[in-house]
Amino acid sequence: MATYNKGILGAFSGKVGPVVGATWRGKDVMRSLPKKGNRLPTESQQVQRKKFTMTTEFISGIQPVVKRYFGRDNGNKTRRNQAMSYLMKEAIVFNDPDYEWDFSKILISKGDLLGIDNGQVVAGAGQSIDLSWSNNSDQGEALASDKLVVVVYEPTLKATVYSLNASTRSSESVTLELPNYLADLKVQVWATFAAEDDALVATSHYLGSVTLG
């Protein structure tokens, strides 16, 4: 891959002869066209592709969450990149004959703010869930006004519902109404806290699974 300054022809994107022009992290770059190969992927490559596909599908449903709250932008590694890397390495397990999520290992956010204390979730009336937690706003940098961020995931439909401001730390409980299409299904729930200005965020907690009414 080569970078280039805008010359007489200027920057370009797409295929031109044996090269492809594109913009990558603010720079104009040229790449040679990849050579076609007949090699079959190794078992290790197949595993990585499977994990990559699973993780991409999951993260696509919570993009606004991970882009705001998963670690810090660090040079060339974005928050989304960090989330992809963590989930692929830590949250996918092999359960013969296939790979699946270990929901308890999934994180939707990562940071240094004080997280949820005594978080719990139970089924509410209809297609709703009731969340509760202890108000620990007198500890560390935690504030009563910190926002509750919630992610709900149903694996058979691969359906995701999230809220970036479901409640506040001091409220200690909230009821979230979920879509009717999730009726009678088991959903997985994670929650975290973020400062009002999003400057700080806690590492998320897995609250468990709930079968909706």
- Element (DSSP H or E) covering residue 79: helix 79-90
Res 13 pLDDT > 60: no
Residue 33 vs residue 3, higher pLDDT: 33
> pLDDT tens digits for 151-207?
999 999 999 999 999 999 999 999 999 999 999 999 999 999 999 999 999 999 999
> pLDDT tens digits for 54-67?
999 999 999 999 99
Q: How confident is the model at residue 22 (pLDDT cuts 50, 70, 90)?
A: low
What is the mean predicted confidence (pLDDT) over 64-81? 92
Q: Is 54 helix (H, G, I), strand (E, B) or coil?
A: helix
Q: How confident is the model at residue 94 (pLDDT cuts 50, 70, 90)?
A: very high
Please report the pLDDT score of residue 33 as a whole number: 64
As beta bridge partners, residue 194 has 147, 201
Res 8 pLDDT > 50: no
Please report the pLDDT score of residue 201 as a whole number: 98
Res 3 pLDDT > 70: no
Res 20 pLDDT > 70: no
- Element (DSSP H or E) covering residue 43: helix 43-60
Beta strands in the chain (DSSP E): 2-3, 14-16, 19-24, 27-32, 92-95, 98-101, 117-123, 128-134, 147-154, 159-168, 173-177, 186-194, 205-211
List of residues 6+ apart from 163 with CB closer than 8 A: 148, 149, 150, 176
The first and second tokens of residue 145, run together, are: 């006004």
Please report the pLDDT score of residue 113 as a whole number: 98
Please indicate, yes or no, whether the overall pTM of this predicted structure exceeds 0.85: no
List of residues 6+ apart from 194 with CB closer than 8 A: 68, 69, 109, 113, 146, 147, 149, 164, 200, 201, 202
Q: Is 160 helix (H, G, I), strand (E, B) or coil?
A: strand
> pLDDT tens digits for 116-159?
999 999 999 999 999 999 999 989 999 999 999 999 999 999 99
